[in-house]
Every structure is written in structure tokens, then in C-alpha cells.
Amino acid sequence: MLRKCLTILPLLLLGVLAEEKDVLELTDETFESELERHENTLVMFYAPWCGHCKRLKPEYAKAAEMLIGNEPPITLAKVDCTEAGKETCNKFSVNGYPTLKIFERNEMRSDYNGPREAPGIVKYMKSQVGPASKELTSEEAHKAFLESDDVGVVGYFEKEDSPLATAFQTVSKKLREKVRFGHTSKKEILDKVSHKNTIVLYRPKLLQNKFEDSSIVYKGSDSTSDVNEFVAKNYYGIAGVRTRDNAQDFKNPLVVAYYNVDYVKNAKGTNYWRNRIIKVAKDFPEYSFAVASKDDFQHELNDFGVEFSKSDKPVVLVRDAKNQKFVLKDAFSVETFEAFLKDLQAGALEPYLKSEPIPESNAGNVKVAVAKNFDEVVIDNGKDTLIEFYAPWCGHCKKLAPVFDELGEKLADEDVEIVKMDATANDVPAPYEVRGFPTLYWAPKNAKDSPVKYEGGRDIEDFVKYIAKQATDELKGYDRKGKETKPRTDEL
């Protein structure tokens, strides 16, 4: 057994090394000279101990391999900021890892703001080099462009300087990071297509289905805004493939079907369910639809109370225009999905609310809010309210806890409520926004729909001064400057 392990180990190490063979290693001495030899280079500035760098490296290496032979050429390189690349990293003001920058020869062109997974890196970099729209100069080039696994938008123009062609080029520059554009004025191509002086959006064969056209012809005006809207409206089709890289493109009201979406290993199985989603979705145009990998979006499933799904069938979750959440509780089928959407449309469904149980007793000086009692404890309490949204694991929140308890005790007899809520275990209602912990809001009793984010200090005196000044009615025990106006009971 030991001999087998010793035999396998070098092979594994060889595999690890081979993964990065297509990534150029740069040092202070070679940085400028090597980059000068390459047209376009994405450079990763990293530190060997950095966890984010370790996670990015295999994706980065995979992207480098995928870009071999690309025209125009794109090289991926890396610089170790802790060893032989210290001076270079200082020169480019690298102060966090990994930092990625795009170079033309040895001149930095821009920071890299794209995805961190191999396909996304490839797509982003291809969009950054060369013209925004690829000129299709032959029938072979035209055919190759359409055979891609990505959506393609092609402009067919008899005159390259026509108003529509100009609008097309403007839109291609604006959307180049997300969309593949091509254009042609070649007579041999124009003679073989039925569309001239217009734009056509082509769906890749991988995503074609019998419920929507595989190509869509633009029939709008010469305006840039109309062309832009045409591409944006039709790009994802009836049910787009939602990934971590493009998730922000899908807006509410949004219906997402989560299952084993994998167009690399199981395109047929992926489309089996997607086609059933589309079959129903086409009759509900007021909603946006998407399919997504449940493994990539487990955090979203958790937000809807779905901890783990063993079934191969889609899990359907919805956020409506008000950001309310709804869950298809029945096992997925075309029939249950359609019935669910009809009930959603009719307003007949109960929204899902992620909430801890309502506390059996809430008599403390600091009240506990959960999603199910938020209105009672905060909105309808008839008092000015200071509310803290916290996370149990947050160090700053733990430090604030005794201060908040003392504040609740000090203001126990005032027309003010001090409230806390675990924002990791409960849905936070609008208009409150929580992006870090702790987050605090002041909600005046006569303006509960317009809470104000508290940005002041976090000592007891800071809170008292703020509340004394902001209180709707002057406090009984403090003046507007936060000074006590009567002896405290513990001093009598």
C-alpha cells in the first residue's frame, strides 16, 4: 500500500504543477520585458498564503488553458508580491490579494472587475480585447460565430456607416463585457441571409427549444436606446441560465427553478427541466424566469427555509415586486408549477417569512424582534425606536451587547423602545437594509416608514445624546443635550 501511495504522489504533484503551466510567472526583473512580448495580458498579483488566491488559482489556470489560440491573443500571468515581485506590486499600488489588472503590452489599461471562475474570466477577457464587435469577413467566419455556445448578436449592414450600424456599434461597446457582437457588410453573406440592414439575436443550439424562436430579428428604430433594449430584453430568453456571475442581471419579480443545472456534463438533463419551466413561463410574461444550479445558490435556498433538496426535480422560489418570498411546496410538475403561478398571480399565496419563534416573554428593557413580531415590536409600538440588527457570531455585536442592555435600563421609563434582532435568522423587512453587522436604525414613532440609519458612536453616552436630541418628545430624564434633568433612582 505504501509503495502505491509513493507511486501516486508524484503523479498528483505533476498534475498540480501542470494546472498552471499556461500561466506566465513574472518577477520584478522580467515583468516589463515579458509583457512587452504579449499583446494582451491579465496579471494576478497574489500572496502564497492568501486563501482567496488559492481558490482562484485553479480557475485562473483553467482560463489560461481555454484562451490558448484565441485571436487576438490573451495571456494570463501572475506575480508573487511576497518574493520576487515585491517592487512591481508596490509600483502598481497592490494592497490586497488577489489584485488583477489588464495590460496592453507593458502598459496597464484597467483594473479587472470580472468574474473569478474560468468561463467568466475567459468571456470577460475576450470582451476586453480587440473591437467590441467582431467583423465577419467570410461565410466561414459567419458560420463559426453562430456555432458558439453563447448568445450572439449580428448586425447585417449594406452600409457600415448607416444610422443603425452606428447605433449597433455604440451598443456593442456598452455591452461588450456580457454579449458577443459580430457584424458584416460582405455581399456573399448578405446574399445568403434573409435579413439585411437589421440586427439578429441568435440563441446557441444548446439553449434552443420549441417554445421560443432560435433567432430574433430587430424591428425597431435607429436609436441606440431601442437597440440596447432589444438586446437586454431578449438576451436570456424566457428562462435564462442564472449563474453567480450574472445573478445581478435578473430583476424582481423573479421566479427561479433550482436543480442540477450543468451544461458541461449533463446538457440533456438540464434542458429536460428547463424546457418544462419555459413551457409554463411563456404564459406569464409579467415575471422574469431563470434556472440555476442549486449547489451554487444554496445560500438562496437557505433564505427560503430550504436546507437541502435531495430530489432531482426543481425547487421553485419566487421574489415578487415587493421582494416578498414564495415557495412552491408541491413536488414540481408542469401542472403544479402552472397552478402555483396562477395563485401567485391572483395574490392567493402566503409569503414565506424566515423567522425565529416569537419569544414567550419579551418583558426585558431591550425588546427582541423576530420577523413574525416585527410589526408589533417596532412598527406599531407607538414609541420612538432604536433597533440593532446583529449576527450572533459578530465580535462588534458582542461588544455592543452590554452597552445596549445598559441603554435599555437607562431609558426604561422613557417613551423610547430599544430593540435588537438577529438578522441572520430573520428576514429584515423593507425599508431597512442590512449589509454588515451591527447595523442600527432610529425609527421615530410618527415616521416608522422612514427609519434613519444610526451612524454615531457606540458608547452609552453617544446613544443617550443622540436619542435625547432626536426623540419626538423631550425625554423625562434628559434634556435635549443628553444631560440628566432628575436624579437617577440608584443615587437616591
CB 76 within 8 A of CB 24: yes
CB 443 within 8 A of CB 384: yes
Q: Rounded to 5 degrees, what angle do the CA atoms 84, 90, 91 make?
A: 105
Q: For residue 488, what pLDDT is reported?
A: 52
Distance CA 346, CA 44 (A): 51
The 10 Å CB-count burial string (b at 16+, else e) for 462-472 is ebbbbbbebbe
Collapse the DSSP code of 382 into the 3-class scheme (helix H, G, I; strand E, B; otherwise coil) and give the result. coil
Q: How many CA atoms lie within 13 A of 290 on its CB side?
A: 25
Strand partners, 326: 318
User: Among 3.40.30.10, 3.90.950.10, 2.160.20.60, 3.20.20.60, what is the CATH number of 134-235?
Assistant: 3.40.30.10
Distance CA 31, CA 312 (A): 49
CB 242 within 8 A of CB 255: no
Q: Supply the residues annotated as catalytic.
A: 50, 53, 394, 397
User: Each residue's pLDDT tens digit in the chain (492 positions)?
Assistant: 433 333 334 433 333 443 688 999 999 999 999 999 999 999 999 999 999 999 999 999 999 999 999 888 999 999 999 999 999 999 999 999 999 999 999 899 889 988 999 988 998 998 888 889 999 999 999 999 999 999 999 999 999 999 999 999 999 989 988 899 999 999 999 999 988 899 999 999 999 999 999 999 999 999 999 999 999 999 999 999 999 889 999 999 999 999 999 998 999 999 999 999 999 999 999 999 999 999 999 999 999 999 887 889 999 999 999 899 999 999 999 999 999 999 999 999 999 999 999 999 999 999 999 999 999 999 999 999 999 999 999 999 999 999 999 999 999 999 999 999 999 999 999 899 999 999 999 999 999 999 999 999 999 999 999 999 999 999 999 999 999 986 655 544
Q: Indicate if 239-346 has the same CATH topology as 24-128.
A: yes
Distance CA 348, CA 396 (A): 42
Nearest CA to 42 out of 130, 114, 135 is that of: 114
CATH topology of domain 239-346: Glutaredoxin (3.40.30)
Nearest CA to 408 out of 391, 423, 386 is that of: 386
Does domain 24-128 bear CATH number 3.30.70.20? no
Q: For residue 490, what pLDDT is reported?
A: 52
Domain extent listing, the chain: 24-128, 134-235, 239-346, 367-484
Q: For residue 19, what pLDDT is reported?
A: 63
CB 279 within 8 A of CB 334: yes
Count, residues in the chain: 492
Q: Rounded to 5 degrees, what angle do the CA atoms 16, 125, 110 make?
A: 110
Question: Across the chain, how many H-helices and E-strands are there?
Answer: 15, 20
Q: For residue 199, what pLDDT is reported?
A: 98
Distance CA 353, CA 324 (A): 8
Which amino acid makes up residue 190? Answer: L
Does domain 367-484 bear CATH number 3.20.20.60? no
